[in-house]
């Protein structure tokens, strides 16, 4: 689950501001995933060869002047060079444009980009401003990148106490500071086939959204050991989560390339992601809100051909560190197929399987995603899953003497569809519809069926700033499940801002 917002009462949280200030000399650029180098990258390339006075590559100016120049360049991009050489690629062409869509590629978890797809990131302002420093030059020489974003939101709701199971904007009728994210990474080069390459990734998340991303055994006391009856979710209001940390080893000689990932990664199959810029909409489906978020272990992604990719891994179960006593050895496997015309994608996954009883978030999960591209500007994505846990306390038969429920199986089914339209290079709209059945109420707290309907837009003010308004209506059919069990319907309007650095 994930979302972004900026501050309590429209200000960035003080600790977040301190973090941002402390990291300012090291922070870099977000990479808007694009089918071709973004305008900002073209401007950077030109400036690097013939730096002009007042540009982000003019090393005679100070860091802050270069930073301001980089933002100005992005807001006023130079014309694209029609003679620029094509970026080498060992995969099908990107099916989408990004921006305005959050990704240019068909969905595939467990890797930054499908094997054979080059790094599509274009440098954002802070990384360009660092280019004149010894640190920046060292990072460029070693292909190490630093970047991130700040995300804030505001919502109005027909609920008064909680918006849950809407996420991440759980607290109604307020401004929220959702995410400050600082990323350090090195992407392995999976286009080349002549040597083993490596990479690493570290994400540092601070904000309200840590409530959903926390893994038991990884700084989880701030959430699990801090009951808070005065807010919709327990734990400290704002918290820190080292959300992702892993290393990658790329071996080009296994099939058409294999990536071996060791560490903590995002749950593979979801259309949605914890990170604000990677989503079509601000809020998340109920289906996504209550399913696994991250896993820890070893994962392999192997490209068999341009159309077929297989994944196989072992982890410690959902949202549990492998060293925690709640960990259970679990299997994870997926297959992705893309049609020869690049218009269809099928991605079935066993996202978590073991024979253990429920503990913490040990649910068995089977999921499939289908994507279809109607035109270059219109596509849809549909995801369905079945989850269940075994011998969950309180969800079994009721004892005739004690009148209390013993352990039993509790399951749920969900399906969600995204219909996405590119209006122009800086605007897209998305319409999401879902159906969710929490059969015994183990995931949402209410045994009921739900539907939700969300219409939203992403507007790129510049390559560094996204504005996303949306409106959402949802309903629970069997019991009142909204506003803490007081209502059967909820309508929300929300807008968020993502500022990339």
Could you say which of 117, 141, 165 is where a domain stops?
A: 141
The lowest-confidence range among 102-116, 224-238, 302-316 is 224-238
Which residue, 141, 176, 208, sits at the end of a domain? 141
151-169 confidence digits (pLDDT tens): 999 999 999 999 999 999 9
Distance CA 109, CA 192 (A): 21
Q: Does 118 share its domain with 251?
A: no
Tokens of 49: 């060869």
Kindly state whether residue 8 falls inside one of the protein's structural domains: no
Residues 166 and 45 in one domain: no
Report the candidate in 373, 367, 253, 256 with the shortest Cα–Cα distance to residue 310: 256
Rounded Cα distance, 183 and 16, in Å? 15
- Taking residues 8-32, what's their average pLDDT? 34
- 247 and 149 in a single domain? The answer is yes
H/E element, 459: strand 448-462
Indicate the pTM of the whole model.
0.86
Question: Token match 């707290």: residue?
Answer: 445
Same domain, 128 and 166: no
Q: What is the mean pLDDT of the chain?
A: 89
Contacts with 222 (C-beta within 8 Å, 6 or more apart), sequence order = 210, 214, 235, 236, 239, 240
The answer to whether residue 443 is domain-embedded is yes
| 98 and 237, same domain (yes or no) | no
Residue 341 within a domain: yes
Same-domain pairing of 265 and 345? yes
Mean pLDDT, rounded, for 134-138: 94
Is 494 found in the same domain as 360? yes
Q: In 3D, which of 277, 306, 271 has the Cα closest to residue 434?
A: 271
**200-221 average pLDDT score:** 97
Give SS3 for 277: helix
Domain-ending residue, one of 83, 118, 141: 141
Residue 39: the pLDDT is 36
Same domain, residue pair 164 and 236 = yes
154 found inside a domain: yes
Q: How far is CA 241 from CA 24, 207, 298, 496, in A?
A: 19, 9, 20, 21
Q: Is the dihedral of CA 387, 391, 397, 402 positive or negative?
A: negative
CATH number of the domain residue 243 falls in: 2.40.160.10
Q: Are residues 155 and 137 in the same domain?
A: no
Instruction: Give the domain extent around 210.
Output: 145-500
102 falls within a domain: yes
**Are residues 47 and 116 part of one domain?**
yes
**Is residue 4 assigned to a domain?**
no
Q: Which of 299, 272, 290 is nearest to 481 (CA)?
A: 290
The answer to whether position 229 is within a domain reads yes
- Same domain for 109 and 208, yes or no, is no
Structural domain total, the chain? 2
Distance CA 96, CA 98 (A): 6
The string of pLDDT tens digits covering residues 380-436 is 999 999 999 999 999 999 988 888 999 999 999 999 999 999 999 999 999 999 999
Does 136 map to a domain? yes
pLDDT in tens, 397-413: 998 888 899 999 999 99
Both 377 and 358 in one domain: the answer is yes
């Amino acid at each position: 689950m994930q979302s972004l917002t900026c501050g309590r009462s429209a200000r960035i949280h003080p600790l977040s501001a301190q973090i941002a200030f402390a990291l300012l000399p090291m922070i870099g650029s977000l990479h808007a995933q694009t089918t071709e180098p973004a305008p900002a990258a073209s401007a950077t390339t030109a400036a690097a060869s013939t730096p002009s006075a007042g540009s982000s590559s003019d090393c005679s100016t100070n860091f802050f002047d270069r930073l301001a120049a980089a933002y100005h360049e992005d807001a006023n991009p130079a014309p694209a060079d029609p003679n620029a050489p094509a970026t080498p690629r060992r995969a099908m062409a990107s099916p989408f444009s990004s921006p305005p869509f959050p990704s240019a590629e068909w969905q595939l978890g467990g890797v930054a980009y499908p094997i054979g797809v080059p790094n599509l990131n274009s440098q954002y302002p802070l990384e360009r401003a660092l280019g004149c420093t010894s640190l920046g030059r060292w990072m460029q020489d070693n292909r190490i990148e630093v970047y991130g974003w700040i995300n804030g939101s505001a919502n109005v709701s027909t609920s008064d106490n909680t918006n849950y199971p809407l996420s991440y904007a759980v607290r109604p009728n307020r401004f929220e500071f959702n995410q400050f994210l600082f990323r350090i990474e090195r992407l392995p080069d999976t286009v080349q086939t002549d040597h083993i390459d490596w990479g690493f990734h570290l994400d540092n998340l601070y904000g309200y959204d840590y409530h959903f991303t926390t893994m038991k055994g990884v700084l989880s006391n701030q959430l699990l050991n801090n009951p808070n009856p005065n807010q919709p979710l327990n734990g400290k209001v704002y918290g820190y989560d080292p959300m992702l940390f892993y290393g990658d080893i790329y071996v080009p000689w296994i099939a058409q390339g294999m990536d071996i990932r060791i560490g903590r990664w995002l749950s593979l199959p979801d259309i949605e992601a914890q990170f604000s810029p990677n989503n079509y909409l601000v809020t998340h489906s109920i289906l996504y809100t209550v399913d696994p978020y991250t896993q820890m272990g070893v994962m392999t992604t192997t490209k068999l051909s341009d159309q077929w990719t297989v994944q196989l891994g072992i982890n410690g179960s959902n949202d549990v560190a492998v060293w925690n006593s709640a960990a259970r050895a679990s299997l994870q496997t997926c297959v992705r197929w893309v049609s020869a015309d690049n218009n269809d994608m099928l991605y079935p996954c066993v996202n978590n399987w073991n024979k253990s009883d429920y503990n913490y978030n040990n649910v068995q999960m089977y999921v499939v995603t289908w994507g279809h591209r109607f035109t270059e500007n219109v596509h849809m994505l549909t995801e369905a899953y079945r989850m269940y846990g075994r011998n969950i306390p309180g969800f079994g038969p009721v004892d005739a003497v004690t009148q209390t429920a013993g352990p039993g199986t509790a399951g749920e089914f969900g399906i969600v569809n995204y219909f996405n339209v590119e209006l122009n290079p800086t605007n897209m709209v998305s319409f999401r519809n879902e159906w969710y059945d929490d059969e015994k109420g183990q995931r949402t707290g209410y045994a009921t069926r739900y539907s939700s309907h969300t219409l939203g837009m992403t507007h790129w003010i510049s390559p560094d700033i996204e504005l996303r308004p949306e409106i959402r209506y949802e309903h629970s059919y069997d019991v009142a499940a909204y506003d803490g069990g007081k209502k059967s319907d909820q309508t929300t309007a929300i807008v968020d801002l993502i500022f990339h650095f």
